[in-house]
Amino acid sequence: MGVRKRNSADLRKAEQKTVAFAKLTNIPTSPRKMRLVADMVRGVEVNRALGILKFSNKEAAARLEKLLRSAIANWEAKNERKADAGELYISTIFVNCAPMLKRLRTAPQGRGYRIRKRANHVTLIVDTIDNKNAKA
């Protein structure tokens, strides 16, 4: 590895140490359904987002709520203090496609219909509101 690549890799690792995030992989829900729920909480303060997810009647909301609680716990562990009300917000949340399971369903006249069982990966990053103002 060259010096330039090593330096950029070290910078990336140093940034990663200050960022509190959580990842959820291979969720057996279609990415489209998960994005509907992710769009509801993008950029929202953490306590408000937990309320939105708790009272949403979508199945994906329960998984995102658990992921958000994990991201908050990661932030508290990195900063060695409790998160105060109104301090944290969801800075980034994105949903990517995971590998798809392809199955065949029997159909009339000797044919087969394809069933695509979709899955997704979710990445959620929380940040303090002070950093949001500093970046803008």
Q: What are phi and psi of 56, to 5 degrees?
A: -80, 140
Assigned domain for 3 exists: no
pLDDT at 135 exceeding the cut of 80: no
Mean pLDDT throughout 98-104?
96
How many structural domains does the chain have? 1
Unique residue bearing structure tokens 């140093």: 14
- Band of residue 120 on the pLDDT scale cut at 50, 70, 90: very high
Asked, for residue 105, whether it belongs to a domain, the answer is yes
Determine contact, residues 43/89, Cβ cutoff 8 Å.
yes
pLDDT at 17: 78
Domain coverage including residue 61: 20-135
| Model confidence pLDDT, tens digit, residues 59-88 | 999 999 999 999 999 999 998 888 887 889
